[in-house]
A and B are shown apart, each in its own frame.
Chain A
Amino acid sequence: MAILRYAGEALKNLFRKPVTRNYPAEPAVYPDRSRGHIEIDIDKCISCGICQMSCPSDAIKVDRKEGTWDINRFDCVACGYCVLKCPKKCLTMVPGYQEPGPEKYDDLHHRSAEAMAAEAEKKKQAALKAAAAKKALAAKEAKAPETAKPVAAENADGAGKPAETPGK
């Protein structure tokens, strides 16, 4: 048992340089994996809305028709779940924390007009192809009862049913 055991360390501490950094005079240095905030590469986004469904604090809003993506920077807790779930990998987590401010705001991103036009065009092409495929299938079904053997009425009924539903 002794007194003033810590005195040696305390005196040494007087003459060391401070451990704290001189922020904000020196800028802050964060490691690579530091989770600060979310960035999006908006042209790769397809507005599927999976990031909106996966956010635990409901900070992301996606509008499918308009092609917008907004995030409430103050609600985001930087968990990184949306980054994991995005199918096109357009979200990334970058270092750098959100600055404090007097009121909350939404950070809006809008997909560029070319990207929206390209998606509309792709959808039209896909719809045309689907319609053509349906027409071909209906024509094939119409030909089938003529060439098939008249074995059972059920067969013809079974073949007739799929031909009716696409027309609806």
Chain B
Amino acid sequence: MPKIIIPRDTIREIKLEDLMENVQFMRHSRLRLAQICAAWINNRYELSYSFVDESTYAMITLRVYVELDQEVPSIGVFYPYATFYENEMETMYGVHMRMMHMDYHTKLYRISKWAAMLPEDVRQKKIAKDKPKTVVPGASEQPDQEGSAELNAIVQKAVPLRKAEMKAMAADKDIPGTKMASSVPTGDAGAASSPLSERAIRGEQMNAQAIQAPQTKKTETADGKEGEQ
């Protein structure tokens, strides 16, 4: 008789919070992602993530129950090609996905009705509730929104300077208001002070100016000074 391998299949139900850890375990055990499937049964979404083992042909399915307006994190970190399945879920069923690897913005299939496979009354409810996606669930301040002062400050520090500013920096003798300025020897234009330290000074100054704008928040600059001046 020829050699045949009988595969064993299981379906395990997990909670949405444990999804990323379970998927990380699957990736660690070298399983291959086979499919991600969504269904609307009994007034909630049922997502099935299926993984296949190469040597034993077994299939392990993770089952997650999600409400109508809950958001699901993308597993594209572990499996980059999961983006096609997740975009399809978003297009056909309207499941909110967060941080996908390649985001087609609900237009993977160019159909005029978004979330066409939901029943009509549920679909109307979904369209009414549509809100922008969050990055960190439950946090009051999201990293990608306006007014997030800390991240803006870090980004500001890394801005490269233009030529005119560098020239102006070279001409500056003394920059008031910063501690580092007093420690730097004030020499001639471009003589003793290296561009790096002057750029740092300039960066500090720009940082200080940026932080002054929202007066209500108290932030600390790198040299320990209070932001409010």
Direct contact of A and B (CB under 8 A): no
